[in-house]
Amino acid sequence: MHHTSSFNILAIVLIIVGGVFLLENFGFIDGAWLVWPVLPLIMGLGFCILFFKTKRDIVLLGLGSFVLLNSLFFFYLNFIGWSTLVVLWPVFIVILGITFLACYMISKSKVLAYLAALLIALGTSFILIFVISTKLWPISLVFAGISFIIINIFELLAKRGRNARKK
């Protein structure tokens, strides 16, 4: 029964959003185009909720967080101007890194932690390079190194915790 009610909620949301966009297309309201990212936002939230309800497939969490974070970035771009994407494109790399970080938090897979650290460091350094100065690219190496040290510290703390519980 709960499955049917979820589809009914989705159906109602789609009908309302579609109606609002139709009203804008025919000139009855203005500015609805600014909220189009609500559609991927709803999809991303849906994938995340589905993951937390089923706890079965981490891909649902990854896809949900990726779509959700991108929709938030799209909202931001709608209000500041899409022309800034020329310098803000590295945000997509950071979003991918945050997605891997969210998946790591659930799975504790070391590979996901390293991917998250590398992508966040790389994206952040690209933002610094393209927004502030091209001379700042070595910061990406510093960020990556610090990220690896932090990952290793957390891994050592986790091992100590497991060893303490065994005794």
Helices 58-80 and 91-107 sit at what angle, rounded to 10 degrees? Answer: 150
**Which tens digits make up the pLDDT trace of 32-69?**
777 788 888 888 888 888 888 887 788 889 999 999 99
**Which tens digits make up the pLDDT trace of 87-104?**
889 999 999 999 999 999
Euclidean distance between CA atoms 114 and 159, whole angstroms = 18
- Which pLDDT does position 6 carry in this prediction? 63
Q: Are 64 and 48 in contact (CB under 8 A)?
A: yes
Euclidean distance between CA atoms 85 and 11, whole angstroms = 33
